[in-house]
């Protein structure tokens, strides 16, 4: 009788505690993300699991982990969501992609959501980040309300940098410092020219003195380091970095200009 009574009491205590375990109190975002994952794991209802995944993704976003937030949202079963919630999830994917630096994906999700018109400034910046400048310019001009603001938009887009190409950088790299100048690093180009001239001069000196081993082997190794690796290979690998930096700087300028236009319109 006593054993049965203790068993009943333990069940009565366990039920409220187990139910309380499904609630996720506020605290450390990563701890909350772990608790929401437990809700997903223990849930038999796809809709509840979806909501828990959305909450978990938000925890990762608050913890400045947008990549993890995106991966979590990829687990959401979109076909179980109502149209409004599905649209909200696409907007979240756009926001998290932008935070992760994947502006192309951010633009794609925003356009797929059909909410681009509700965030015209962000849409203009995302179009610019994908280097769809003509569309971005038109979107920015729609936000301008005066002739002065429109002129400012036109001037900004006229100053948009030209993106570099790897093939062009490779060809120009055969004439130091042309490759570095093409990529906006003239002083590095001058240094590269001096180093290559020194390596070539040293090689020629050894060969003239009939020191063939030092000339061909040592000079070849030296030119490989200064001309091919530090010059050609570095320039080619720097093209993507140059383009990303140029796009980012332009998008920041566009965002600042649109922010000024918005403040004047308030």
Predicted confidence (pLDDT) per residue in 217-260, tens digit? 555 666 666 667 777 888 899 999 999 999 999 999 999 999 99
Looking at residue 214, the DSSP 8-state letter turns out to be: I
Provide the pLDDT for residue 213.
62
Provide the pLDDT for residue 219.
59
* Domain end among 158, 191, 218: 158
* Domain end among 137, 158, 179: 158
183, 127: one domain? no
Residue 177 clears pLDDT 70, i.e. is over it: yes
* Domain end among 158, 183, 207: 158
Structure tokens at 30: 């990563």
32, 117: one domain? yes
30, 59: one domain? yes
Provide the pLDDT for residue 22.
45
Q: Which domain holds residue 65?
A: 24-158
Residue 30 contacts residue 59 (beta carbons within 8 Å): yes
Read off the CATH number of the domain in which 39 is found: 1.25.40.10
Q: Give residues with Cβ within 8 angstroms of 35, minimum separation 6.
A: 24
Average pLDDT value for residue range 180-190? 88
Provide the pLDDT for residue 205.
66
Sign of torsion, CA 104 150 254 266? negative
185, 77: one domain? no
14 part of a folded domain? no
Q: Give residues with Cβ within 8 angstroms of 9, minimum separation 6.
A: none
Residue 211 clears pLDDT 60, i.e. is over it: yes
Residue written as tokens 């913890």?
63
Looking at residue 215, the DSSP 8-state letter turns out to be: I
Task: Name the E strands within 13-155.
Answer: none
Structure tokens at 164: 């570099």
Residue 77 contacts residue 39 (beta carbons within 8 Å): no
Average pLDDT value for residue range 78-102? 92
pLDDT tens, 16-73? 433 344 444 456 999 999 999 999 999 888 899 999 999 999 999 999 999 999 999 9
Q: How many angstroms separate the CA atoms of 254 and 235, rounded? A: 28
pTM over 0.75, yes/no: no
Residue 58 contacts residue 24 (beta carbons within 8 Å): no
Provide the pLDDT for residue 173.
86
Q: H helices then E strands: how many in the chain?
A: 15, 0
7 part of a folded domain? no
């Amino acid at each position: 009788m006593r054993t049965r009574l203790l068993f009943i009491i333990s069940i009565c205590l366990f039920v409220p505690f187990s139910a309380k375990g499904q609630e996720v109190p506020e605290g450390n975002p990563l701890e909350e993300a772990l608790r929401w994952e437990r809700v997903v794991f223990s849930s038999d209802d796809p809709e509840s699991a979806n909501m828990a995944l959305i909450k978990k993704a938000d925890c990762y976003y608050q913890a400045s982990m947008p990549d993890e937030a995106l991966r979590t949202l990829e687990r959401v079963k979109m076909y179980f969501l109502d149209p409004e919630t599905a649209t909200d999830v696409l907007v979240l994917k756009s926001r998290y992609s932008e935070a992760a630096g994947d502006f192309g994906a951010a633009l794609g999700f925003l356009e797929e959501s059909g909410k681009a018109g509700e965030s015209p400034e962000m849409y203009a910046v995302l179009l610019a980040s994908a280097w769809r400048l003509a569309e971005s310019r038109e979107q920015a001009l729609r936000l301008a309300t005066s002739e002065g603001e429109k002129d400012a938009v036109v001037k900004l887009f006229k100053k948009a940098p030209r993106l570099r190409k790897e093939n062009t950088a490779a060809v120009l790299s055969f004439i130091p410092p042309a490759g570095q100048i093409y990529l906006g690093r003239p002083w590095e180009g001058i240094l590269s020219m001096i180093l290559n001239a020194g390596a070539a001069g040293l090689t020629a000196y050894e060969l003239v003195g009939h020191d063939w081993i030092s000339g061909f082997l040592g000079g070849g190794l030296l030119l490989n380091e200064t001309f091919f690796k530090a010059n050609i290979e570095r320039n080619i690998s720097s093209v993507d970095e140059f383009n990303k930096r140029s796009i980012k700087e332009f998008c920041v300028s566009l965002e600042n200009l649109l922010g000024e236009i918005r403040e004047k319109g308030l």
